[in-house]
Amino acid sequence: MLWPDAGLRRARNVEIQARVADARRRHPESEAWLGLLDAALGESEDGATWEAAVPRPLADRPVKAPLLYRARITVDERAAGRWVKRLAARANVGEVDAVALLEAGVSQDNPDPPALRVVAQLAAIPLLQACARVLAAELPASWWEGYCPVCGAWPVLAEYVGLERKRLLRCGRCGTGWAIPMLRCAFCDETDHERLGYLAPDGEEEMRKVELCTSCKGYLKALTTVRSLAPWAILLDDLATVHLDVVAIERGYERPARPGYALEARLA
Ligand SMILES: [Zn+2]
Ligand SMILES: [Zn+2]
């Protein structure tokens, strides 16, 4: 019998596995990406390795800088190398510099060739989710920016949570959620209600919509929910609602290509 080299393996979270399997059935076109996401979510469940790498935020960072701005992150080289190389092998991208790729993923730099970009983004998820868990208590009491207060990414989703329908923006990388006023564009801070609107699919208006800003032409998918999504569910929800992206893009709206805040984090 051959034993995998990864040491002790834990049982996976059954709910995540069921949701990923369901996504694979519904979106066979995204099979390759879902395979990588599934690996990243599995790695994220094994949090201890990554929680040990969570850095102290810079004390003198600018007020509007996310917690990981210019952070020096020291990872366990063997564990990080094993994880990134496993993901790279799965994506068939050849030999990679594990630490450099992880750093690119954390800072949202785009490595070349572009195929590496997806690997870098997904490779960083276990570390970023660990940062969000460990640093949750350090989040500023109020955060008015449209980008993630932990990792600087633009939100993937706006959630309207509970009976009071509080508007929360959610980061698809680290999973952080932060409250922001109802009528305010996450991307350009537009607050003029004449310039903010939404599209809703027939019959789903109560549950799903796409928020639009005519000032910056940005769009953000929104979901009404009783309870906030788990961090692992955000990217799965993003895939499940790709028909809403199509509708927004067809009307000339887009998600910003550049990160919300350049993180400039360094890994060692
Ligand atoms: Zn984030
Ligand atoms: Zn805008």
Token pair for 200: 């809703």
Question: What's the pLDDT score for residue 110?
Answer: 82
Q: Domain extents for the chain?
A: 14-138+263-267, 155-250
156 Cα: distance to centroid of ligand 1 (angstroms):
10
Total residue count of the chain as it appears in this document: 268
Q: What is the pLDDT of residue 113?
A: 81
- Which pTM does this prediction carry? 0.92
Q: CA–CA separation, 231 vs 130, rounded Å?
A: 11
pLDDT of residue 7: 53
| Ligand 2 center from residue 211 Cα (angstroms) | 10
Which residue, chain included where needed, has tokens 């660990």?
130
Report which bound ligand comes closest to the CA of 133.
1
> Which ligand ends up closest to the CA of 106?
1
Name every residue whose Cβ is closer than 8 Å to that of residue 7 and which is 6 or more positions away in sequence: none
Closest-approaching ligand to the CA atom of 185: 2
Report CA(236)–ligand 1 centroid distance (Å). 16
Q: How far apart are CA 43 and CA 12, in angstroms?
A: 10
Ligand at minimal distance from the CA of 169 is 1
Q: In which residue ranges of the chain is pLDDT below 50? A: none
The Å distance, Cα 234 to ligand 1 centre, comes to 11
Q: From ligand 2's centre to the CA of 144, what distance in Å?
A: 14
User: How confident is the model at residue 115, as a pLDDT?
Assistant: 82
CA of 150 to the centre of ligand 1 (A): 5
pLDDT of residue 201: 80
Spacing of C-alpha 206 from chain mean position: 25
Q: Are the C-beta atoms of 80 and 102 separated by less than 8 Å? A: yes
- Residue 255, pLDDT score: 95
Please give the distance, rounded to the nearest whole angstrom, from the Cα atom of residue 154 to the centre of ligand 1: 8
For residue 177, report the distance from its CA to the centre of ligand 1, in Å: 8
- Which pLDDT score, from 0 to 100, does residue 6 have? 52
